[in-house]
């Protein structure tokens, strides 16, 4: 059998190109720079545009502008860059702009460990802009998923007209792995739901969960604003309209969780312990499960791909018959909070590291008993 | 959808301006409307990009396309729109506040020359938030945040833009009779055009400083700020230049899959975690990669992760390899099965691992390194049989070859075949692999 030897960055770029990404803007930052560099070499020859912005704020701003011009845009950075993206993430939410944002996590806070792995942004991507409205975040746990979930991210961005995060980390992006090429296929990305001209405004708040088609500058007069606006994108102080806008921003995602929820459940009959993991730490969890079962112990695992919105239905179903939940993550227990609120009466234990080293399968096994 | 240009009687819509009596914003917008009429641009192909402040309300009174974004970031959205769609006419409206907070974008817009026209509605203070001072507030002026008079020197927007390469630079006031002509000129000039248009804020700056129409020009003169068309030059518009240059680039991706066929046998029956500890410039990563590829060609799964300081040409270079007959979910290495130590830099990084290694684990070292303290079995390679043609920079691959073949991790055959397929490096790599094999014969 033939295999490829590639890292997560390469898989993400290939996934983005396969998804039809034709605009990329980014600013150099370890460990996200390889994505920027690959996009700078790949996009021009394909008729797209890749540009290094003067900073992270400019980079995401250019992506938002380009999307209104009809582009499929992606940007990539790490925690410090997400901090600078913050305000524009909110702009993409209120303006209903499809956009893929890759957060290649490194150890924080601040500059932290530039070349060191971490998972400290899992709550940050969810709550990192003013207002607290929903976003979507997907977390690959290996190179194959870096590819498939990048495609999914583009698909969901178009479906819901919102920013979608791909939450990875230094190790996923920079570690090379042998992969089966046939695993780098199988996700179809829907076309942009573009206006044909007779749908009324490109904004619509009723029914609240419906996502209207998006317009493109040049085809017709298109308006856009980051202020609370009516369906014609004109700034308004009309309370009922503002309420409808903001409830729409939440409902279009919250009412369609089944289209977003994505997990990899590995159940074992009779197991009373469940490991819930995401991202790079899921690798240690999978290996721990194999080892534990080989030693005759019963354990189930749930790898969460769609970390936001929390796939509550899938998690609750996996919790059935379980009395102990182990949540390994490279932070001090951020996603464990989400599990705890669903795990009524069950024991929920974290396995946590913030020293820049990966959680090992042995550490997970130790927490199973 | 129709693409025919529909000339308008006005680019203004029916909504009246909301600005304070005497505020300059309305008159600048009237001049912009006149300019658009003269240019007879297709309204859907004109994008008015604005941000925060009273001037940021402007787009709502026009029937063109519009983008109203975050404070000071207009130029970034405008650049994105123009880069994606070079055929669109992008006009940016910012206040002096936005120009200040978006200073980095302003500098780079001038330098990069993406085709857009920036109108700075410069009323010398923050009119929307209570008359605070801005980067263009004249020295000595009274504002709500400079109650004793502004101690700061004002930013010379035009000189900054001109010295950094902007195509068109103009300074004037909203009372200038030729303002429409200048706006037309700015829009028609390829590249980045900037018009610094001074005007009165009748809510704050005017009353606080007894500032009238005459004071605008007097202050420009007092501060030694040039007026009129200060720069008008031919530049390469970035968005169209980018498209042109891109078209000349060779098609073809560097990301095309490089398939490694499984064609050799491996006897490895359990994962081998291997650390290569060397120095920058020692070809540690490429040697490790060659071994990983040889393992994949032998049907094994492989992972490789590299560690080196951010100052890449100095200090340690460490490669971590896992080679395994089973899929590898966990790519970390806490206790290596096999370690190859090439240099003192590498040895310094090896100590924490060495302490955890035990008898079945092996350490293979080049000669003349300091003593190590470990429970692992140590072997110092004898380099004397090496032919003189092997350079020191090839020692990583020499030692690695000796280590993995001796430990039955990867076969000599697979390494030789992989080395021979390395293009322009094939000859050197083959020599190194051959030398490594000689060491363990």
Q: Which member of B64, B80, B304 has the closest CB to residue A65?
A: B80
User: b/e string for B217-236 if b means 16 or more Cβ within 10 A?
Assistant: eebbeeeebbbebbbeeebe
Q: What is the pLDDT of residue B417?
A: 97
- CA dist B100 and B125 (Å) reads 11
Q: pLDDT category, B250, cuts 50, 70, 90?
A: low
* pLDDT digit string, tens, across residues A22-54: 999 999 999 999 999 999 999 998 999 999 999
Cβ neighbours of residue B82 under 8 Å, at least 6 residues apart? Answer: B88, B90, B114, B115, B116, B239
* pLDDT for B3 beyond 60: no
The helix/strand/coil state of A77 is strand
Give the Å distances, CA to CA, from B183 to A177, B90, B118, B402.
57, 13, 9, 73
Q: B80 to chain A: which residues are within 8 Å by CB? A: 23, 25, 61-69, 71, 73
Q: B69 to chain A: which residues are within 8 Å by CB? A: 61, 64, 91, 224, 226
What's the whole-number average pLDDT of chain A?
97
Superfamily for domain range B272-439? Pyruvate-ferredoxin oxidoreductase, PFOR, domain III (3.40.920.10)
The helix/strand/coil state of A266 is strand
* pLDDT for B24 beyond 70: yes
One-character DSSP codes across A159-228:
HHTSEEEEEEEHHHHH-EEEE-GGGS-----PPP-B--S-S--S---SSTT----B--BTTB--EEESS-
Q: pLDDT category, B392, cuts 50, 70, 90?
A: confident
* pLDDT digit string, tens, across residues B186-242: 999 999 999 999 999 999 999 999 999 999 999 999 999 999 999 999 999 999 999
The ranges of chain A annotated as CATH 3.40.50.920 are 263-368
The helix/strand/coil state of A279 is coil
Q: How many CB atoms lie within 10 A of CB A113?
A: 15
Q: What is the pLDDT of residue B6?
A: 58
Phi first, then psi, for residue B319 (nearest 5°) are -115, 135
* pLDDT digit string, tens, across residues B347-390: 999 999 999 999 999 999 999 998 899 999 999 999 988 877 78
Phi first, then psi, for residue A77 (nearest 5°) are -155, -170
Phi first, then psi, for residue B25 (nearest 5°) are -55, -45
- CA dist A109 and A188 (Å) reads 37
- Average of pLDDT values for A278-296? 97
Q: Do B260 and A87 touch (CB under 8 A)?
A: no
- Average of pLDDT values for A209-221? 95
Residue with tokens 């028609």: B188
Q: What is the pLDDT of residue A306?
A: 98
The helix/strand/coil state of A357 is coil
Q: What is the pLDDT of residue B310?
A: 86
Q: Which member of B77, B83, B252 has the closest CB to residue A45?
A: B252
Residue with tokens 């080679």: B323
- CA dist B92 and B75 (Å) reads 7
Q: A365 to chain B: which residues are within 8 Å by CB? A: none
Give the Å distances, CA to CA, from A178 to A172, B188, B262, B303, B317.
13, 54, 12, 6, 22
* pLDDT for B181 beyond 50: yes
- CA dist A358 and A330 (Å) reads 7
What's the whole-number average pLDDT of chain B?
95
Q: Which fold has domain A263-368?
A: Rossmann fold (3.40.50)
Interior CA angle at B28 toward B25 and B29, to 5°? Answer: 85
Of B283, B274, B215, B302, nearest to B403 by C-alpha is: B274
Pairing of strands B272-279, B316-324: antiparallel
Cβ neighbours of residue B30 under 8 Å, at least 6 residues apart? Answer: none
- Average of pLDDT values for A339-367? 97
Q: A357 to chain B: which residues are within 8 Å by CB? A: 332
B16 touches chain A (CB under 8 A): no
The ranges of chain B annotated as CATH 3.40.920.10 are 272-439
Cβ neighbours of residue B31 under 8 Å, at least 6 residues apart? Answer: B174, B179, B180, B183
* pLDDT for B2 beyond 80: no
Q: Tokens at residue A158, please?
A: 């178009």
Interior CA angle at A149 toward A224 and A123, to 5°? Answer: 70
- Average of pLDDT values for A231-248? 97
Is the separation of the CB atoms in A98 and A126 below 8 Å?
no
Q: Do A196 and B1 touch (CB under 8 A)?
A: yes
Percent of chain A with pLDDT over 70: 100
Q: Which member of A64, A222, A358 has the closest CB to residue B77?
A: A64
Q: Do A178 and B300 touch (CB under 8 A)?
A: yes
* pLDDT digit string, tens, across residues B257-266: 999 999 999 9
- CA dist B269 and B285 (Å) reads 25
Burial of A11 (0-12, 13-18, 19+ CB in 10 A): buried
Q: Which member of B77, B253, B257 has the closest CB to residue A61?
A: B77
The ranges of chain B annotated as CATH 3.40.50.970 are 25-244
Report how far apart the first and last C-alpha atoms of chain A are (Å, whole number): 38
Q: Do A1 and B250 touch (CB under 8 A)?
A: no
Q: Do A66 and B105 touch (CB under 8 A)?
A: no
Q: What is the pLDDT of residue B249?
A: 77
Is the separation of the CB atoms in A112 and A118 below 8 Å?
yes
Q: What is the pLDDT of residue B389?
A: 74
The helix/strand/coil state of A136 is strand
- Average of pLDDT values for A110-122? 95
DSSP-assigned letter for residue B423? G
Q: What is the pLDDT of residue B301?
A: 98
Find the residue in B nearest to A224 (Cα): B67
The ranges of chain A annotated as CATH 3.40.50.970 are 4-183
Q: Do B258 and A225 touch (CB under 8 A)?
A: no
Q: A4 to chain B: which residues are within 8 Å by CB? A: 257-260
Residue with tokens 């980095």: B104
Rama region for B181: left / alpha / beta (φ>0; ψ in -120 to 50; rest): alpha
Q: Tokens at residue B428, please?
A: 């050197």
A180: Cα within 13 Å, side-chain hemisphere:
7
CA–CA min distance B9, chain A (Å): 16
Radius of gyration over every alpha carbon of chain B, rounded to an integer in angstroms: 34
Architecture of domain A4-183: 3-Layer(aba) Sandwich (3.40)
Longest dimension (CA), chain A: 66
The helix/strand/coil state of B125 is strand
Q: pLDDT category, A255, cuts 50, 70, 90?
A: very high
* pLDDT digit string, tens, across residues A5-19: 999 999 999 999 999
| Cα dihedral A22/A27/A29/A31 (nearest 10) | 0
* pLDDT for B8 beyond 80: no
Among A81-95, A185-199, B205-219, B294-308, name the one with the lowest average pLDDT.
A185-199
Interface of B with A in 345-404 (CB under 8 A): none
Q: Which member of B65, B261, B304 has the closest CB to residue A222?
A: B65
Cβ neighbours of residue B211 under 8 Å, at least 6 residues apart? Answer: B124, B200, B205
Q: B59 to chain A: which residues are within 8 Å by CB? A: 223, 225
Q: What is the pLDDT of residue B1?
A: 43
Of A230, A221, A237, nearest to A203 by C-alpha is: A230
| Helix (H) / strand (E) containing A351 | strand A347-352
CA–CA min distance A59, chain B (Å): 7
| Domain covering B25-244 assigned CATH 3.40.50.970 in the classification | yes
Of B306, B309, B315, nearest to B279 by C-alpha is: B315
* pLDDT digit string, tens, across residues B282-319: 999 999 999 999 999 999 999 999 999 988 899 999 99
B177 touches chain A (CB under 8 A): no
User: b/e string for B405-434 if b means 16 or more Cβ within 10 A?
Assistant: bbbebbbbebbbbbbeebeeeeebbbbbbb
Burial of A6 (0-12, 13-18, 19+ CB in 10 A): buried
Q: What is the pLDDT of residue B441?
A: 84
Q: What is the pLDDT of residue A198?
A: 75
- CA dist A176 and A7 (Å) reads 4
The helix/strand/coil state of B259 is coil
- CA dist A307 and A156 (Å) reads 14
Q: What is the pLDDT of residue B253?
A: 76
Is the separation of the CB atoms in A129 and A99 below 8 Å?
no
- CA dist B120 and B321 (Å) reads 57
Find the residue in B nearest to A225 (Cα): B68
Return the higher-pLDDT residue of B256 and A363.
A363
């Amino acid at each position: 059998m033939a295999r490829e030897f590639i890292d997560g960055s390469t898989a993400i770029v290939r996934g983005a190109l396969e998804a039809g990404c034709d605009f990329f803007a980014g600013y150099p930052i370890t460990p996200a720079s390889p994505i920027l560099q690959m996009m700078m070499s790949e996009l021009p020859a394909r008729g797209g545009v890749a540009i290094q912005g003067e900073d992270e704020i400019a980079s995401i701003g250019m992506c938002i502008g380009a999307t209104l011009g009809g582009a499929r845009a992606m940007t990539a950075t790490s925690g410090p860059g997400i901090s600078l993206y913050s305000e524009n993430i909110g702009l993409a939410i209120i303006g209903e702009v499809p956009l893929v944002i890759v957060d290649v996590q490194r150890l924080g806070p601040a500059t932290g460990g530039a070349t060191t792995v971490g998972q400290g942004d899992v709550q940050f991507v969810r709550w990192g802009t003013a207002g607290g409205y929903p976003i979507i975040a997907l977390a690959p746990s290996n190179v194959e998923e870096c590819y498939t979930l990048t495609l999914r991210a583009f698909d969901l961005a178009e479906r819901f007209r919102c920013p979608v995060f791909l939450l990875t980390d230094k190790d996923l992006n920079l570690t090379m792995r042998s992969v089966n090429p046939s695993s780098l296929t199988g996700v179809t990305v829907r076309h942009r739901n573009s206006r044909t001209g007779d749908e009324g405004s490109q904004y619509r708040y009723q029914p609240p969960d419906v996502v209207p088609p998006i317009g493109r500058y040049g085809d017709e007069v298109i308006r856009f604003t980051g202020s609370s606006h009516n369906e014609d994108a004109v700034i308004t102080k009309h309370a009922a309209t503002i309420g409808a806008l903001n409830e729409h921003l939440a409902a279009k995602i919250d009412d369609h969780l089944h289209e977003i929820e994505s997990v990899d459940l590995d159940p074992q009959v009779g197991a009373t312990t469940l490991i819930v993991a995401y991202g790079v730490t899921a690798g240690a969890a999978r290996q721990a499960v194999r080892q534990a079962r080989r030693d005759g112990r019963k354990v189930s695992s749930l790898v969460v791909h769609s970390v936001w919105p929390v796939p509550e239905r899938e998690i609750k179903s996996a919790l059935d018959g379980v009395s102990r939940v182990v949540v390994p993550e490279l932070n001090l227990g951020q996603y464990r909070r989400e599990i705890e609120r669903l795990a009524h009466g069950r024991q929920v234990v974290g396995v946590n590291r913030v020293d820049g080293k990966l959680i090992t399968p042995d550490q997970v096994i130790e927490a199973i008993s | 959808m129709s693409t025919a240009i529909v000339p308008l009687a006005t680019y203004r819509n029916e909504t009246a301006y909301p600005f304070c009596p005497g505020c300059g914003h309305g008159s600048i917008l009237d001049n912009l409307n006149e300019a658009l009429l003269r240019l007879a641009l297709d309204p859907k192909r004109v994008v008015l990009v604005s941000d925060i402040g009273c001037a940021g309300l402007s787009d709502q009174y026009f029937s063109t396309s519009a983008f109203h974004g975050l404070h000071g970031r207009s130029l970034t959205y405008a650049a994105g729109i123009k880069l994606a769609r070079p055929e669109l006419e992008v006009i940016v409206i910012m206040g002096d506040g936005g120009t200040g907070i978006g200073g980095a974008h302003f500098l780079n817009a001038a330098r990069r020359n993406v085709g857009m026209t920036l109108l700075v509605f410069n009323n010398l203070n923050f009119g929307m938030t209570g008359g605070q001072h801005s980067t263009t507030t004249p020295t000595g002026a009274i504002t709500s945040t400079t109650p004793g008079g502004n101690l700061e020197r004002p930013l010379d927007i035009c000189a900054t833009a001109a010295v950094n390469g902007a195509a068109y630079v103009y300074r004037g006031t909203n009372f200038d009779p030729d303002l429409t002509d200048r706006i037309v000129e700015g829009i028609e000039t390829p590249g980045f055009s900037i018009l610094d248009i001074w005007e009165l804020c009748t809510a704050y700056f005017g009353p606080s400083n007894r500032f009238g129409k005459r004071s605008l020009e007097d202050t420009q003169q007092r501060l030694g700020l040039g007026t009129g068309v200060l720069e008008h030059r031919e530049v390469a518009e970035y968005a169209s230049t980018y498209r042109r240059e891109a078209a000349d680039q060779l098609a073809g991706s560097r990301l095309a899959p490089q398939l490694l066929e499984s064609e050799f046998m491996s006897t490895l029956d359990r994962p081998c975690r291997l650390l290569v500890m060397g120095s920058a410039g020692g070809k540690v990563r490429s040697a490790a990669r060659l071994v990983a590829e040889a393992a994949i060609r032998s049907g094994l799964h492989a992972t490789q992760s590299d560690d080196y300081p951010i100052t890449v040409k100095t200090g340690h270079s460490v490669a971590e390899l896992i080679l395994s007959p089973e899929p590898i979910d966990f790519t970390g290495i806490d206790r290596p099965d096999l370690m190859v130590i090439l240099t003192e830099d590498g040895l310094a990084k090896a100590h924490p691992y060495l302490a955890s290694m035990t008898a079945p684990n092996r350490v293979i070292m080049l000669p003349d390194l300091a003593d190590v303290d470990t429970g692992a079995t140590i072997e110092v390679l004898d380099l004397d049989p090496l032919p003189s043609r092997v350079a020191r920079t090839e020692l990583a691959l020499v030692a690695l070859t000796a280590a993995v073949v001796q430990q039955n991790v990867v076969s000599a055959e697979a390494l030789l075949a992989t080395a021979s397929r390395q293009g322009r490096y094939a000859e050197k790599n083959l020599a190194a692999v051959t030398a490594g094999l000689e060491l363990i014969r």
